[in-house]
Amino acid sequence: MTEYTQLQQIRLQKIEELRTQGINPYPTRAERTHTSLQAIAALEAAPEGEPVPATLAGRIRATRPMGKLSFAHIEDGAGKIQLFFRINELGQEKVDFFNKMFDLGDFIQAEGLMMRTRTGEPTLQVTDFRMLAKAVSPLPADKDVEQPDGTIKRYAALEDPELRARQRYADLAVNPQVRETFRKRAAIIKALRNFLDSNDFLEVETPILQPLYGGAAARPFTTHHNELEQDMYLRISFELYLKRLLVGNLERVYEIGRDFRNEGVSYKHNPEFTQLEFYAAYFDYLKVMDLTEAMIGHVCDAVFGSRKFTFEKEPGKVYELDFTSWRRLEMRQGILETSGIDIAEHPTAESLFQAIVTRHPQAKPDPTVTRGKLIDFLLGEFLEPTLIQPTFLYDYPRDISPLAKPKPGDPLTVERFEGYAAGFELCNAFTELNDPLDQEQRFLDMQEDYDDDEEEKNPLDEDYLRAMRYGMPPNGGFGMGIDRLTMLLTNNRSIREVLLFPASRNEA
């Protein structure tokens, strides 16, 4: 049984009072002729003295009752506008009715003529109004006050990150900049689609519920299909299904959707996240690099009209990011410059481990892992934090890249690159391995490398190998976290700020 606060009980009484007066506090239909901004524009466009009738609908955000008149601000999807209730037009009874029965947060429909107040503010002088939806709970915010210089000053607001995420509806209702972030997010995704569509990519949908998982090194979520009597997994990547489509002569495909990884939660990790992957026949990783640069540039232009962004990674740590052109840095070179170790001189895990602990006694690499994982350690420890400006880091160790094609003449290295900005990984791409015999061997190697970790070990996907044996064109593939891109472009330092409903524990 819901327990209501005193504030809520007062509003419940008002709902009852409305019903006893024969007024439905939640009517089925609503009317409006203008949004707030349309009404203001209509007033500005109309000749002096010509009446501008309008019917508006929105949520009450502020009221200023003054006895024989009353002002209110309502907010709709477009913006805010002031309402003016006066006994001259409405009579004392209706003004009292408004003051008594309407609260902050209620949705109201108001009809009247547009006017300007003494201070010049475009305002609807109300001749009739009605309740559209009564709010039981007050919105958790006080007031936004627009200062003379046009900035918004907030006197008190919903700020607790937990509450804001758990009650995103309330966060969105009271924090306009949060709405803006999610509009930007939608625009980013739309721009990505536009770009890929206009480059002859076909948007496809592949299974989220899979009998086997693969395409990334991550622990999956497991579920069960009752009728099929088999366990299923939520996908950890799209890769293996999208590449099956290349076998089927779909030359350029992409998918935007959700991946699920049963791993830690952090400022840049959420258990489900939105991924873009594309694959293009006859591309190699250099062509993918060019396309990526063009694609991100297109998103910047289309959504923001600029390729320069300010990103505050930590309080006071502000970066100016420029996505006009990406630096291209060979991983070996980057690691050499930042750690002083040349990985090419250490072809075995043992040799590389010794080099690391000798040169960096304070570093704590895991002595049991492969050479590739040690290189990844060097990358994360020394190189990654320095990759502030957009950078393509290329040529990765083979053993941590089981789906990438070897670099000709270099058996330890594959044609793979990752895009970095502001010190974190944004995307991952490679020249895709299309040799079914090599692919099978890689799967088998993985079984050994991940011997200690049953779940993170990619299961051997026989059907994928069967597909590849029919012939897969040479191709380049790409994956990018949309959430991280949105973080960078909207200056949000936590992934939770760009997810409408980030993962949370059950409420106690």
Partner RNA sequence: GGGCGCGUAGCUCAACGGCAGAGCAGUGGCCUUUUAAGCCAUUGGUUCUGGGUUCGAAUCCCAGCGCGCUCACCA
Hey, which residues between 60 and 89 contact RNA (CB under 7 A)? 62-69, 71, 73, 82, 84, 86-88
Binding test (CB under 7 A) with RNA, winner from 264, 305, 316, 409:
264
- C-beta of 305: minimal distance to RNA in Å? 29
Number of residues that bind RNA (CB under 7 A): 77
Distance CA(344)–CA(331), nearest Å, equals 11
Cα gap 134→14, rounded to integer Å? 9
CB 375 within 8 A of CB 395: no
Residue of the chain from 192, 216, 321, 487 that contacts RNA (CB under 7 A):
216
Nearer to RNA, 19 or 100 (CB): 100
Identify whether the C-beta of residue 238 lies closer than 8 Å to the C-beta of residue 249: no
Query: What's the Cα-to-Cα distance from 109 to each of 27, 129, 245, rounded to whole Å?
Result: 11, 5, 52
Task: Pick the piece of the chain touching RNA (CB under 7 A) from 212-220, 252-260, 327-335, 386-394.
Answer: 212-220
Footprint of RNA on residues 443-472 (CB under 7 A)?
446, 456, 458
In whole angstroms, the minimum distance from the beta carbon of 453 to RNA comes to 8
Contact 101, 17 (CB under 8 A): yes
CB of 223 to RNA, least distance (A): 21
Considering only 44-52, 127-135, 259-267, 298-306, which stretch makes contact with RNA by CB under 7 A?
259-267
Angstrom distances, CA of residue 169 to CA of 146, 451, 501: 23, 45, 10
Among 76, 415, 418, 461, binds RNA (CB under 7 A): 418
Residues 465-504 that bind RNA (CB under 7 A): 494, 496, 504
Kindly identify the residues of this chain, within the stretch 226-255, that bind RNA according to CB under 7 A. none
Question: Going residue by residue from 129 to 148, which x/- string records binding to RNA, judged by CB under 7 A?
Answer: ---------x-xxxx-xx--
Of the candidate residues 400, 412, 472, 485, the single one contacting RNA (CB under 7 A): 400
Does residue number 168 form part of the binding site for RNA (CB under 7 A)?
A: no
Structure token digits, residue 123: 């305002």
CB neighbour class for 115 (10 Å; exposed up to 12, middle 13-18, buried from 19) = middle
Q: How far is the CB of 449 from RNA (least distance, A)?
A: 9
Please list every residue from 302 through 331 that binds RNA, using CB under 7 A: 314
Which of 35, 109, 123, 270 forms a contact with RNA (CB under 7 A)?
Answer: 123
The DSSP secondary-structure symbol of 249 reads T
Q: Is 440 in the site for RNA (CB under 7 A)?
A: no
Region from 20-28, 264-272, 291-299, 386-394 binding RNA, contact rule CB under 7 A: 264-272
Least Å distance, CB 29 to RNA, is 27
Strands (E), 293-423: 308-314, 317-322, 327-330, 391-397, 406-407, 410-421
The least distance separating RNA from the CB of residue 184, rounded to whole angstroms, comes to 20
Residue 7 C-beta: closest distance to RNA, Å = 5
Amino acid at 148: P
Least distance CB 194 / RNA (angstroms): 27
Count of other CB atoms within 10 angstroms of residue 37: 15
Q: Taking CB under 7 A as the rule, does residue 165 contact RNA?
A: yes
Nearest to 402, CA basis, from 386, 385, 416, 388: 416
Binding to RNA by residue 506, rule CB under 7 A?
yes
Residues 16-55 that bind RNA (CB under 7 A): none
Per-residue contact string for residues 367-386; x = within reach of RNA by CB under 7 A: ---------x---x------
* CA dihedral (421, 422, 423, 424) positive or negative: negative
Distance CA 255, CA 205 (A): 6
Chain mean position to CA 60: 29
Cα 376 from Cα 379, distance rounded (Å)? 5
404 DSSP 8-state letter: B
